[in-house]
Amino acid sequence: MASRQVQLKTPKGTRDWFGSDCVLRDHIFETISGVFKRHGAVPLDTPVFELKDVLTGKYGEDSRLIYDLQDQGGEACSLRFDLTVPFARWLAMNKVTQVKRYQIARVYRRDQPAIARGRLREFHQIDFDIAGEYDTMIPDSEILRIIVEVFKALELDITIKMNHRKILDGIFTVAGVPGDKIRTISSAVDKLDKSPWADVKKEMTEEKGLPEEVADKIGEYVKEKGSVREILDFLKSDSSLVEDQNIRAGIEDIELLLVYVEAFNISSSISFDLSLARGLDYYTSLIFEVLHTPQQTEVPGLPKGGKDQATQVGSIGAGGRYDNLVGIFGKKPIPCVGISFGADRIYTILKAQKEREAAAPTQEIDVYVMAFGAGKEFTGLLPERLQVCGQLWDAGIRASFSAKAKPKLPQQFKAAEGVPLAVILGQDELADGKLKIKVLGLPDGHPEKEGVLIEKTDLVEEVRKRLQR
């Protein structure tokens, strides 16, 4: 009987890891876990699947993305959706009341994949959590400090978007959202980072039955974002907001948090964004997301503008405080706060950066020596170019030239891409004992844009002076 041809591909939203990709991924794991260890964390590993009841009802609308497994052992199980709920289960099961833990493991979500943007069905999360009774906002501020340390170690520029669930719930209450709709409306607002306000408002009114005037009132508040101090001032300036008990409690938390993050010298990395909601049901107060905010720099040889994969991956970390989750599994509630880093999204950014760097022209020289001229009378000035290169080499300066007797000027400039300086020889200038030195890549209008004539005897001094700039 003929065998059926098998389609050789990985399932949608999964990928193979090999060679340099594994090396880069391991670098991410080691770098981040090194920060965790510096803060006193111990590792934890949990099963890749949990009892279905452990996961059910913990993720709000995202619960539909849980992978259920076929029952083959008398137990209904599901693949883990994140590492937070299994950690809470472990705390309750082992009656652990205080710990700093980290975990690096795969999680699974039955989502629509977009591999280029780091959205997968199987992906790695890197979690750090602090569980136990501590004074208010101290562990929370340490988590924020850890985020900054992690991305400093990975050499990535980031912004931490922050909000407080009690403040957000209070805003919904003041706007007129019924109590039984707060979580579902919160889930809609959480899409503001990906969708325009008009689409979010449509979801709240047409799909979730919220009156239009209530949605408009929410819109007045959730569009506000800025520094922690700016948004605190905004909240306290609105009498209808500060009358709400939840909002007052949230403001007290954030004011205390601000003292600690300023002591940690990380307040400039934080943006207070009232639209941040975090769709997961278990968060109780502080919530945050981490966005990659790269500095816009031109890379020689690459097109200007546009977006690469590294700028389209969405959040590369997220977390918050969840004080009630452990209590669902055990008799004793244990306050917790934590952060999950999206390892595969971080990988996507670092991989794209490496590819851009590899595509950029590179030269291991400081000066390119070229000849100017054309026509039958043009000799190419090869001996003169060799003599100038020798003069630079004798001075310890890295230099090169075209290995052609009569090179064309455009070809020489192309060969000099990525080189800081050009020394240009012309027949008439050499006859006067002069040559031209040109800093490559100067903007229009710069006084040395077209180069500067110098005495041939001053070459080494003039080159060194410009290289030091």
Q: Give the residue ranges of the annotated binding site for L-histidine.
A: 82-84, 109, 125, 129, 278, 282-283
CB atoms within 10 A of CB 45: 11
Contacts for 409 with CB less than 8 Å, ≥ 6 apart: 370, 371, 372, 374
Count the Cβ atoms, other than its own, within 10 Å of residue 450. 9
Name the token pair of 167: 């403040």
Q: Compute how many other C-beta atoms are within 10 angstroms of the C-beta atom of residue 329.
A: 17
- Please choose, from the candidates 438, 439, 436, 364, the residue with its C-alpha nearest in 3D space to the C-alpha of residue 398: 364
Backbone φ and ψ for 466, nearest 5 degrees, come out as -75, -35
Contact between 203 and 187 under an 8 Å Cβ cutoff? The reply is: no
Cα(206)–Cα(22) distance, integer angstroms: 46
Mind giving me the DSSP string for 372-423? E--STT----HHHHHHHHHHHHHTT--EEE-SSSS--HHHHHHHTTT-SEEE
State the Cα–Cα distance between residues 34 and 29, nearest whole angstrom: 8
List, as residue ranges, the binding site: 82-84, 109, 125, 129, 278, 282-283
Query: Count of CB atoms within 10 A of residue 275's CB?
Result: 21
Q: Check: CB of residue 33 under 8 Å from CB of residue 104.
A: yes
Placement of tokens 């098998």 in the chain: 6
Which residues are within 8 A (CB) of 278 and not within 5 positions of it... i.e. 6 or more apart? 163, 165, 190, 287, 289, 318, 320
User: Side chain identity at 205, as an amino acid letter?
Assistant: T
Q: Quick one: CA dihedral 268, 274, 278, 281, positive or negative?
A: positive
Would you say 310 and 352 are in contact if contact means Cβ atoms under 8 Å apart?
A: yes
